[in-house]
Structure 1
Amino acid sequence: MSSTETFARSDAPIESDSTTIPAELAWQQADDDVFVATSQGEFAGFVTVDRSIHIVHDRHSRRIGSYPTLADARQALVDATRPPSRRRERLRRRILSRRR
């Protein structure tokens, strides 16, 4: 079992009330075929390797998808952990209010 720490960073910032901070995950290799991600010290998800397929799971162990490379899998988790933009959230609320 080895311990290798790397970071995956998204180009898009996370919007918060006062500042914008980059979406950043710290990665640890837990086993030969398991990579675990944390965000600000909290568990964020993991990637398992099954032959040549990299399977991504979120922080609730729900499967996000399968990817051909570890880099693609890590980016998928970064994208999944990014909160929705304010514009997208307003659109979602507007659509939901029309359904009522």
Structure 2
Amino acid sequence: MVIEKNNFSSNPLEQFILLGKNVKGAACLELINQVLETPGIYVFGELLDMPSIKEVGNSPNEKYWNTLNLFAYGTYTDYLQNKNKYLQLTPNQTKKLQHLTIVTLATKSKVRYI
């Protein structure tokens, strides 16, 4: 399953959410992989709530669910400390997770200027 860029709506996540309602098995794993790889998608909670995605968390392919959950709620440090729980990240996925980590750290350590 490959999603063409020109098929994206204004919100690229919407296309994946629609596909997520009907995918199973290997197609579900590929969907997770593509979401993690696609630029501009930085929100993953809706996908994690989908029944087809939740099933992955209770399967031999739980690394896919763990990795999606990492992108939603974890940090790059979490990845480095527990690499065996997650998929091996591509360079694009690594950069995306690092960006998400910076945002997470920035929101946790707000500095007030007077």
TM-score exceeds 0.5: no
Greater percentage in strand: 1
TM-score, normalized by length of structure 2?
Answer: 0.25
TM-score, normalized by length of structure 1?
Answer: 0.27
- Whose radius of gyration is greater, 1 or 2? 1
